[in-house]
Every structure is written in structure tokens, then in C-alpha cells.
Amino acid sequence: MKLWLPVLAVTVANFVLKAIGPLALGDRSPSPTARRVIALMAPVLLAGLIVVELGGEDWANLNSPQVLGVGAAGVARWLRAPMLVAVVCGMAVAALLRL
């Protein structure tokens, strides 16, 4: 039960936050600058979560093969490789460095 209460609270907060946007804007649409900022929020938050998970608590658990594997996958995506190819590339780099 201890776990379900925070899950329920986050779910309700998510619904409330999603409802605030249309209620606040009404029939108006956001400006192009606001749309660009909104479009970039998800990738930036995901990148932040990846960095925090890679570094661990106080950056004490930094795993260099894992970091380089994620970097290799990022470079592969930057070079316009398909997602599956980028993931396999990152896994291969991490695996080779762990040997």
C-alpha cells in the first residue's frame, strides 16, 4: 500500500497538469517559441535522467564502459543511424570495453 499511494498521487498530478494547459489557453494556441520549448522538454528531461542514472549517487558509481556505450549510441543516432542500430552499437561498445 505504501507504493500505491505515491503512484496514485503522481497519476492525479499528471492529469491535473495536463488539464491546466487547455483550460488556461482556451481556443488560443501557444506561440511558435513556446511550441519549440515544449517540444524540447521531453528530450532534455530524458537526457537529464540518463546522466543522473549513469553517474549514480554523488557520481560514485560512474561506470566508464556504460558511459562510453551510451556515448557511442548517441553518436550513432547523431549520424542518423536507426534506433535499433544505435542501441546495438552502444551495447557492442560497452561489451567490448568490459572484456
Same domain, 52 and 90: no
* 53 plus 70 within the same structural domain: no
Q: Please give the pLDDT value at position 30.
A: 83
DSSP the chain: -TTHHHHHHHHHHHHHHHHHHHHHHTT----HHHHHHHHHHHHHHHHHHHHHHHH-GGGTT--HHHHHHHHHHHHHHHTT--HHHHHHHHHHHHHHHH-
Kindly state whether residues 75 and 40 are assigned to the same domain: no
Is the domain of 41 the same as that of 82?
no
Q: Are residues 40 and 86 in the same domain?
A: no
Whether residue 82 contacts residue 68, with contact meaning beta carbons closer than 8 Å, is answered with: no
Domain that holds residue 78: 63-99
CA dihedral 94, 95, 97, 99 (to 10 degrees): 160
Do 39 and 3 share a domain, yes or no? yes
- Whether 2 and 50 map to the same domain: the answer is yes
CB 26 within 8 A of CB 14: no
Specify whether 48 is located in the same domain as 4. Answer: yes
**In the prediction, which pLDDT does 2 show?**
81
pLDDT in tens, 23-80: 888 888 888 998 899 899 999 999 888 888 888 777 877 888 999 999 999 999 999 9
Q: Does 47 share its domain with 92? A: no
Q: Are residues 23 and 44 in the same domain?
A: yes
**Structural domain tally of the chain?**
2
